[in-house]
Amino acid sequence: MNRDPPNKQAKKLTGTEISSHNSRDSCWVIIHGRCYDVTEFLPEHPGGPKIILKYAGKDATEEYEPIHPPDTLDKYLDKSKHLGEVDMETVEKEEKEEDPEEEDRQKRIDKMPILEQCYNLMDFEAVARGVMKKTAWAYYSSGADDEITMRENHSAFHKIWFRPRVLVDVENIDFSTTMLGTPVSIPFYVTATALGKLGNPEGEVILTRGAHKHNVIQMIPTLASCSFDEIIDAAEGGQCQWLQLYVNKNRDITKKIIEHAEARGCKGLFITVDAPQLGRREKDMRSKFSDTGSNVQSTGGDNVDRSQGAARAISSFIDPSLSWKDIPWFLSVTKMPIILKGVQCVEDVIRAADVGVHGVVLSNHGGRQLDTARSGIEILAEVMPVLRERGLDKKIEVYIDGGVRRATDIIKALCLGAKGVGIGRPFLYAMSAYGLPGVDRAMQLLKDEMEMNMRLIGAARVEDLHPGLVDARALVAGHSVSAPTDTLGWRVYDPLAGPREKIVREGSKL
């Protein structure tokens, strides 16, 4: 039954051998058919030792895979701890507990709508919700606290209404533009989102290929499942990529990352400023995803409280002391344009312009950080009139992200003065449900909508979009919250009924 040649077999470690190293004192794990001694690494693991110990003496590949870039072990574990290949036939397969939720999911996968049934970006989310693993869905879809900001992000666009112009020649529609000097086919970019392999085994490179196909820019996330170089390598034909950066407490690490990105051709550095600590996302916490970590920049020996769930664990390397006084240093270490991602009020936009960065992304981090923070589109409506008044609107490029689902959302942002918009989750959902064809179709749908809606608003080119084409007063008028409902009164009220059916008596047809 064992068909391996004896000599090769001799070199490999066996499951039995490994299984005895199953404690804090000696902890070996199998990953991708190789064994590693992580005993000494346990206290340093950014995701906490507990999740590793769960797999002590066992195969941890399935858990490890989506949340660690492939070069993680080489980078963070001394070669001496790489114990060699394992004879996987000798490793006991764990019987998985029956999980009725998982069975239901498999049934949903069997009945998954065909790709052509997706007619808009919401549709990918509807499909992904049904077919993704629960923990992965929870990680992607969750927001901070009550998820009010997360939902506000899209609904804020519904406060803006169009004032289209008719009888404009819209035969030839051209919605191409430039972003930080790079020509793009449509004014959106793929913004950075973490842990792509939770949704698809290939991870972020799928987004790279989709971006290439549609000639849009991809922003590479610090917390990607693929390694930075994998994502860069997946780019084709001079395809433009940007780097999203969480700033490490250890500035040497940060500097190395920036220099490497610049060397590999990145055309923009987006410093995340809205996440000195990663947000509490309760849906994620409830989904028992608490054992995950993706951090690739551990400074080692830190002592963060890991009882607070994944988000805080992952974020342990991020420097919460990052401040305006650090910006000149960034400007000094790179020639890439620097953009602050996550600015949330006009005062900070002005300051950003003053310190000499090249742009800002008005963003609340997809509603994943501070709940009841305002939407990017609302901040935009606050920012642009002031920038114009001060003549700063030409000095820096202003982007927004959060809640963009329709081409009309993009058009509204551009009317109000944005240079472009970032889109994140929708492409993750398309990728999770359908892989690259999903991402391709999602982008194509946006282009179709864009052509249609540019025509209907009476604007043939991006330059034709201006504030007069929208009524955005509701956006700046604040946030209405209806008075609590009168539950007694509504219960008593007898709603109007429509016409009553004809009564067809039994046998009346005889």
Of the candidates 217, 155, 212, which has an alpha carbon nearest to the alpha carbon of residue 421?
217
- Spatial distance between the Cα atoms of 334 and 269, rounded to a whole number of angstroms: 9
Task: For residue 472, give the 3-state DSSP assignment.
Answer: coil
List 86's β-bridge partners, or say none: 13
The residue with tokens 């997360």 is 150
- Choose the catalytic residue: 123, 274, 371, 393: 274
Nearer to a copy of itself, 31 or 469 (CB): 469
- Choose the catalytic residue: 365, 409, 434, 440: 365
DSSP structural state of residue 292: -
Closest approach, Cβ 19 to a copy of itself, in A, equals 27
Nearer to a copy of itself, 163 or 256 (CB): 163
User: Following CA atoms 115, 116, 122, 127 in sequence, which dihedral angle do they give, to the nearest 10 degrees?
Assistant: -30
Of the candidates 277, 275, 285, which has an alpha carbon nearest to the alpha carbon of residue 309?
285
- Do 475 and 154 form a contact (C-beta atoms < 8 A)? no
Of the candidates 423, 349, 408, which has an alpha carbon nearest to the alpha carbon of residue 381?
349
- Spatial distance between the Cα atoms of 422 and 431, rounded to a whole number of angstroms: 16
Would residue 82 show up in a list of annotated catalytic residues for this protein? no
- Spatial distance between the Cα atoms of 214 and 217, rounded to a whole number of angstroms: 9
Nearer to a copy of itself, 174 or 233 (CB): 174
Nearer to a copy of itself, 13 or 128 (CB): 128
Closest approach, Cβ 472 to a copy of itself, in A, equals 8
Our measurement of the distance from residue 350's CA atom to the centroid of its chain's CA atoms, rounded to an integer in Å, reads 27
Nearer to a copy of itself, 140 or 228 (CB): 140
Closest approach, Cβ 306 to a copy of itself, in A, equals 13
- Spatial distance between the Cα atoms of 510 and 506, rounded to a whole number of angstroms: 9
Closest approach, Cβ 165 to a copy of itself, in A, equals 6
Question: CB neighbours (10 Å) of residue 333?
Answer: 16
Query: Per the structure block, which two tokens stand in for 240?
Result: 């433009």
Would residue 365 show up in a list of annotated catalytic residues for this protein? yes
Nearer to a copy of itself, 177 or 408 (CB): 408
Query: Per the structure block, which two tokens stand in for 105?
Result: 């999911």
Residues whose CB is less than 8 angstroms from the CB of residue 489 and which lie 6 or more positions away in sequence, other chains included: none
Nearer to a copy of itself, 395 or 455 (CB): 455
Nearer to a copy of itself, 42 or 112 (CB): 112
- Do 226 and 247 form a contact (C-beta atoms < 8 A)? no
User: Following CA atoms 113, 115, 118, 124 in sequence, which dihedral angle do they give, to the nearest 10 degrees?
Assistant: 80
- Spatial distance between the Cα atoms of 438 and 430, rounded to a whole number of angstroms: 5
Task: For residue 406, give the 3-state DSSP assignment.
Answer: coil
Closest approach, Cβ 441 to a copy of itself, in A, equals 11
Would residue 274 show up in a list of annotated catalytic residues for this protein? yes
Of the candidates 481, 475, 476, 454, which has an alpha carbon nearest to the alpha carbon of residue 465?
454
Integer-rounded Cα radius of gyration of the chain? 26
Task: For residue 423, give the 3-state DSSP assignment.
Answer: strand
Nearer to a copy of itself, 57 or 422 (CB): 422
DSSP structural state of residue 174: B
Closest approach, Cβ 59 to a copy of itself, in A, equals 26
Closest approach, Cβ 400 to a copy of itself, in A, equals 15
Closest approach, Cβ 317 to a copy of itself, in A, equals 13
Closest approach, Cβ 321 to a copy of itself, in A, equals 4
**Could you list the active site residues?**
246, 274, 365
